[in-house]
């Protein structure tokens, strides 16, 4: 007796419903099961043909990314699409030769394999940099240049941005910038949470009707939800249009934690000229010298919410900006909404920003980092368990 691969019933070997596939004979109880098998295999063949043009992926990657971390749903999609995989002892296991066709990985509901799943919907992607004279913003300064254009052209009344505290070096403070000089104060990255929502509310209450709001995904999500909330904020957000300018973000850390770490390594925050997270390192620049530390050394200072955030690219923004993907001195820009696309291109046309289309290899860098963000909680949790 043989087993029908579709309905799992026992079938006699002399059944008239048989199929030769990939060097193996399959037996079916009915024409319906045979038809289902044929349709499924056609889909798998089409997927394999599509994946042949891309990077090959083996079962080992599925095991590493999904099965070992314990996030497998046991849906059986991998086993259903590949004869070399079976569910044994409550987990998918390889039971035959793996050809690295990638079908199992791309069928899994826990993997993230499309561009939209990683960085959200967008209209166009650019590499850009500021053309403002005497302005050397971090990662190209495109955000500041866009704010300068909006303010000078009267497209926005103000911008809610984050700058440095005058009393505590590198402590983020949200302000309402109403001119170019104030917007320039917000240049550069800081890696602690900024309380921006109070300033946004104040701007609306002060009668500002067109407001640019700059922040990472968590802050952008708050504005996005308030704009759509029927619970108490409608009377405020009906008064103003808010242009959401999102910042790429992997992690934030407590200000006190960064201060403690810096001082423990013989430095002072007041002497730090720039901070940057790049290639898994936290960089501190002072007097032209750069000190680099592994990000894992900052786990105890990481904001708890960041462990569970999966949005690196501020997907609910009108425009997203980040330093990953493009060369040093440039900004990666995702124009998402119609208004975001229009105002960015107007800033380019009017000489505030220089921009070109993002290259495929540059987008791949962004997608790789976004993929890390989607699953970073598992790595952080594993490190935490090892430390115990």
Q: What is the residue-wise DSSP string for 286-316?
A: ETTEEEEEEGGGGGGGB-GGGGT---SS-TT
Region of 23 (left: φ > 0; alpha: ψ -120 to 50; beta: rest) is left
Q: For residue 46, what pLDDT is reported?
A: 56
Q: For residue 231, what pLDDT is reported?
A: 64
Residues of the chain with CATH 3.40.640: 121-252+303-385
Region of 264 (left: φ > 0; alpha: ψ -120 to 50; beta: rest) is alpha
Enumerate residues 6+ apart whose C-beta is below 8 A from 368.
none
13 to 3, 28, 34, 84: CA distances (angstroms): 9, 9, 14, 22
The string of pLDDT tens digits covering residues 5-38 is 777 788 888 888 888 876 778 888 888 888 877 7
Neighbours of 388 (CB within 10 A): 4
Average confidence (pLDDT) over 163-191: 87
> What is the token pair recorded at 262?
């810096």
Average confidence (pLDDT) over 205-222: 92
Residues of the chain with CATH 3.30.70.20: 55-111
Q: Is 197 helix (H, G, I), strand (E, B) or coil?
A: helix
DSSP bridge partners of 332? 127, 322
Q: For residue 131, what pLDDT is reported?
A: 93
pLDDT category at 383 given cuts 50, 70, 90 is very low
User: Listing from the earlier edge strand, what are the strands of the sheet with 289-294?
Assistant: 274-278, 281-286, 289-294
Distance between CA atoms of 29 and 2, rounded to whole angstroms?
A: 10
Q: Which CATH number fits domain 121-252+303-385: 2.70.98, 3.40.640, 3.40.1000, 3.40.109?
A: 3.40.640
Enumerate residues 6+ apart whose C-beta is below 8 A from 330.
127, 128, 129, 139, 140
Distance between CA atoms of 340 and 349, rounded to whole angstroms?
A: 14
Question: Chain-wide mean pLDDT for the chain?
Answer: 85
23 burial level (CB within 10 Å; 0-12, 13-18, 19+): exposed
- The residue assigned the tokens 């000229």 is 273
Q: Which residues of 152-168 are buried (b: 16+ CB within 10 A; e: fewer)?
A: eeebbbbbbbbbeeeee
- The residue assigned the tokens 């619970």 is 231
Top-ranked range on mean pLDDT: pick from 64-68, 261-265, 279-283: 261-265
| pLDDT tops 70 at residue 72 | yes
The string of pLDDT tens digits covering residues 38-61 is 776 666 655 555 555 455 788 998
Q: For residue 10, what pLDDT is reported?
A: 87
The string of pLDDT tens digits covering residues 328-338 is 889 999 999 99
Q: Which CATH number fits domain 55-111: 3.90.1300.10, 3.90.1650.10, 3.30.360.10, 3.30.70.20?
A: 3.30.70.20
Average confidence (pLDDT) over 296-310: 85
- Tell me how many degrees the CA angle 370-371-374 measures, rounded to the nearest 5: 90
């Amino acid at each position: 007796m043989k087993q029908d691969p579709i309905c799992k019933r026992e079938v006699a070997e002399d059944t008239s419903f048989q199929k030769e596939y990939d060097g193996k004979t399959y037996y079916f109880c009915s024409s319906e099961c045979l038809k289902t098998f044929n349709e499924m295999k056609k889909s798998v063949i089409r997927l394999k043909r599509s994946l042949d043009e891309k990077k090959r992926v083996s079962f080992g990657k599925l095991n590493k990314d999904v099965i070992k971390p314990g996030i497998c749903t046991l849906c059986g999609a991998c086993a259903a699409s590949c004869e070399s995989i079976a569910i044994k002892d409550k987990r998918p296991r390889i039971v035959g030769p793996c050809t690295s066709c990638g079908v199992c990985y791309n069928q899994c509901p826990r993997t993230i394999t499309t561009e939209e799943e990683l960085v959200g919907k967008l209209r166009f992607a650019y590499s850009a940099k500021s053309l403002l004279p005497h302005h050397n913003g971090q990662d190209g300064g495109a955000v500041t240049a866009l704010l300068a254009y909006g303010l000078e052209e009267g497209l926005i009344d103000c911008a809610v941005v984050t700058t440095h505290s005058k009393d505590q070096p590198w402590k983020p403070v949200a302000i309402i910038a109403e001119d170019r000089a104030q917007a320039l104060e917000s240049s550069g990255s800081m890696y602690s949470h900024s309380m921006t929502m109070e300033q946004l509310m104040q701007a609306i209450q002060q009668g500002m009707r067109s407001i640019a709001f700059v922040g990472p995904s968590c802050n952008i999500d708050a504005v996005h939800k308030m704009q759509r909330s029927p619970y108490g904020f409608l009377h405020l957000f009906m008064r103003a249009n808010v242009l959401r300018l999102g910042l790429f973000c992997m992690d934030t850390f407590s200000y006190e934690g960064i201060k403690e770490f810096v001082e423990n390594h013989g430095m002072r925050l007041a002497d730090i000229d720039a901070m940057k997270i790049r290639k898994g390192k936290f960089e501190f620049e002072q007097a032209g010298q750069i000190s680099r530390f592994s990000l894992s050394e900052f786990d105890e200072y990481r904001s708890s919410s960041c462990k569970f955030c999966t949005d690196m690219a501020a997907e609910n923004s009108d425009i997203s900006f980040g330093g990953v993907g493009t060369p040093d001195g440039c900004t990666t820009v995702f124009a998402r909404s119609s208004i975001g696309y229009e105002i960015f291109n107007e800033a380019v046309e009017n000489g505030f920003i220089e921009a070109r289309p993002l290259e495929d290899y540059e987008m791949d860098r962004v997608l790789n980092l976004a993929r890390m963000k989607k699953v970073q909680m598992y790595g952080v949790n594993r490190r935490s368990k090892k430390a115990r």
